[in-house]
């Protein structure tokens, strides 16, 4: 599991899963299907990743596909870092 995937999972667990403590969150758990993050939480995640990895996420990249799971988010971050 990449560092970015781990970072995303830890952030989501800390900020979005207070009422889902018993739920297992894996790299491929769907954020949307399980209503883990709402739009504002996604926005906060974007801000966190931009600050953490010194990247800029364009609004055109803010698609459901890119934010489906920790794996897809990490893939977007890796793409922007390179």
Partner 1 sequence: MAKTRKDRLYRLGFIRKASTLVPYAVGAWVIGVFSRITWLNKFLFRGHYQRLRKLCIHLGMDAELRHAFSQYISCNFFASWRLYALSQYSDEVFSKWLTISGLEHMQSVLDSGRGVVLCNSHYGSGKAVLLALIRRGYDVHSFDRKNVFESMNVKGAEKLHSIHLGTSEEKSFFLKEVFQGRRALKNGGILHVAGDGYRGHSGDNETFLGRERRFPTSFAELAVSSGAKVVPVFGYLEPNGRMHMEFLPPLDIDDDLSNEDKVSTMVHKYKILLEAHWRKAPGEVHKNDLQIYFTLPVCGEGEDIAGKVVVGSKAQVS
Residues 1-30 binding partner 1 (CB under 8 A) are none
Residue selected from 6, 26, 30, 63 as contacting partner 1 according to rule CB under 8 A: 63
**From 17, 27, 55, 62, residue interacting with partner 1 (rule: CB under 8 A):** 62
For the chain, where are the alpha helices, taking DSSP H only? 3-16, 39-53, 70-81
Say whether residue 75 binds partner 1 (CB under 8 A): no
- Kindly report the number of other CB atoms within 10 A of residue 18's CB atom: 8
Neighbouring CB atoms inside 10 A of 46's CB total 19
Q: Is 56 in the site for partner 1 (CB under 8 A)?
A: no
Q: CB of 31 within 8 A of CB of 12?
A: yes
HSE, side-chain direction, 13 A CA sphere, residue 64: 5
**Segment contacting partner 1 (CB under 8 A): 5-13, 48-56, 59-67, 73-81?**
59-67
In the complex with partner 1, the residue whose CB is nearer, 1 or 15, is 15
């Amino acid at each position: 599991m990449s560092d970015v995937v781990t970072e995303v999972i830890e952030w989501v667990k800390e900020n979005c899963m207070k009422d889902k403590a018993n739920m297992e969150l894996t790299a491929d758990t769907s954020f949307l299907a399980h209503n883990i993050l709402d739009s504002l939480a996604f926005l906060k995640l974007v801000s966190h990743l931009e600050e953490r990895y010194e990247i800029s996420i364009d609004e055109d990249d803010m698609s459901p596909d890119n934010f489906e799971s920790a794996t897809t988010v990490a893939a977007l971050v890796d793409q922007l870092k390179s």
